[in-house]
Homo-oligomer: A and B are copies of this chain.
Amino acid sequence: MATIKVPATVPSPAEDCDQLRKAFQGWGTNECLIISILAHRTAAQRRAIRATYSETYGEELLKSLEDEISGDFERAVLLWTLDPADRDAQLANEALRGWNPSNRMLIEIACTRNSGELFEVRRAYHLRYKRSLEEDVVKHTTGDFRKLLVPLVTSYRYEGIEVNRKLAKSEAKMLHEKITEKAYSHEELIWIITARSKAQLIATISYYKNEYGKSIIKDLKSDRKNEFLVALRAIVRCICYPEKYLEKVIRLAIKGLRIDANSITRIVTTRAEVDPKTIETVYYKRNSMSLKQAVKDHTSGDYKTMLIALLGNNV
């Protein structure tokens, strides 16, 4: 369930555009007005606003926003205003252009979105960058990471709940063998992790623990500095415990000496219409503090107002 609060009577896109235009005019920008509109509209409503704005003023809304606001606030508003698939395409592209093996963005996108959503990201990537997501994965990554990430982003996992127990058993055995041999990038291991349906993979991982006494996550911790193992663990976590995974990302982003605004913005903007309540519940259990309070305590200004609005406060 989404946390954003949409008014009972939503103004027409033309009225919203008119108000946004007013927010941009004059000496200063009216940030509160921008938030009071955009943070309280669904993806479909924001799409209608973008289209109407472009038709009416001959300029893209995102461009106008870029000109008017800045910093973390700008990034939060721009990411939020985008369509979810287009936003993910942009995030994936940023991750690839500045690629380093510790970046888990692609894994987050490929594994916490459903199969149809991941395909929509690939479609949006075509439109935005005039090439395919997988072409950029190959261009920017190398070695084992390339072997892992290409099938991960091109996968279209079956989404049914049916589980083949016999297969789960044999693939748990295969995973255990490869992990024991430290053959972490073996093609069978990569295949199982990147292509099986989530229900099937969860069954395999559960069988792994029952049969071999230790969770696959623990067995993949043998070398803590090995970024490839961290990536494999991230995939398993995103598939089996997506809320816990996302809670951890935002917890670490808030808890550091300096907050990691990029990660906070990403999690809030990408999840506010999906599962923020679940992430909040996990966050509260883990930290004995509401996520909203933690965000309030560690951010400031218009950026704070925007995030809190997306997390469900009226402004």
Q: What mask results when residues 140 to 170 of chain A are scored 1 for a CB within 8 Å of chain B, else 0?
A: 0000000000110011111110100000000
Question: Counting CB contacts under 8 A, is A64 at the interface?
Answer: no
Contacts of A284 in B (CB 8 A): none
Whether B157 contacts A154 by the Cβ 8 Å rule is no
**Within 8 Å of chain B (Cβ to Cβ): is A191?**
yes
A131 adjacent to chain B (CB < 8 Å): yes
A119 CB-CB contact with B under 8 Å: yes
| A280 on interface, CB distance cutoff 8 Å | no
Name the CB-closest residue of B to A116. Answer: B123
Known: A119-B119, A154-B151, A154-B154. A130 touches B160 (CB 8 A): yes
Q: Is A134 an interface residue (CB 8 A)?
A: yes
CB-based contact A132/B158 at 8 Å: yes
Bound complex: CA A196 to CA B131 (Å): 9
One of B123, B130, B138, B162 near A191 (C-beta < 8 A): B138
**The one of B150, B158, B159 that contacts A135, using a Cβ cutoff of 8 Å:** B158
Q: Which residue of B lies closest to A191 (CB)?
A: B138
What's the nearest-Cβ distance from chain B to residue A194, in Å?
10
Interface residues of A in 120-143 (CB under 8 A from B): 122-123, 126, 130-132, 134-135, 138
**CB-defined A-B contacts under 8 Å, sample of 17:** A122-B156, A123-B156, A126-B158, A126-B159, A126-B160, A130-B158, A131-B158, A131-B197, A132-B156, A132-B157, A132-B195, A134-B156, A134-B195, A135-B196, A138-B191, A150-B151, A154-B156
Q: Which residues of A contact B (CB under 8 A)?
A: 119, 122-123, 126, 130-132, 134-135, 138, 150-151, 154-160, 162, 191, 195-197
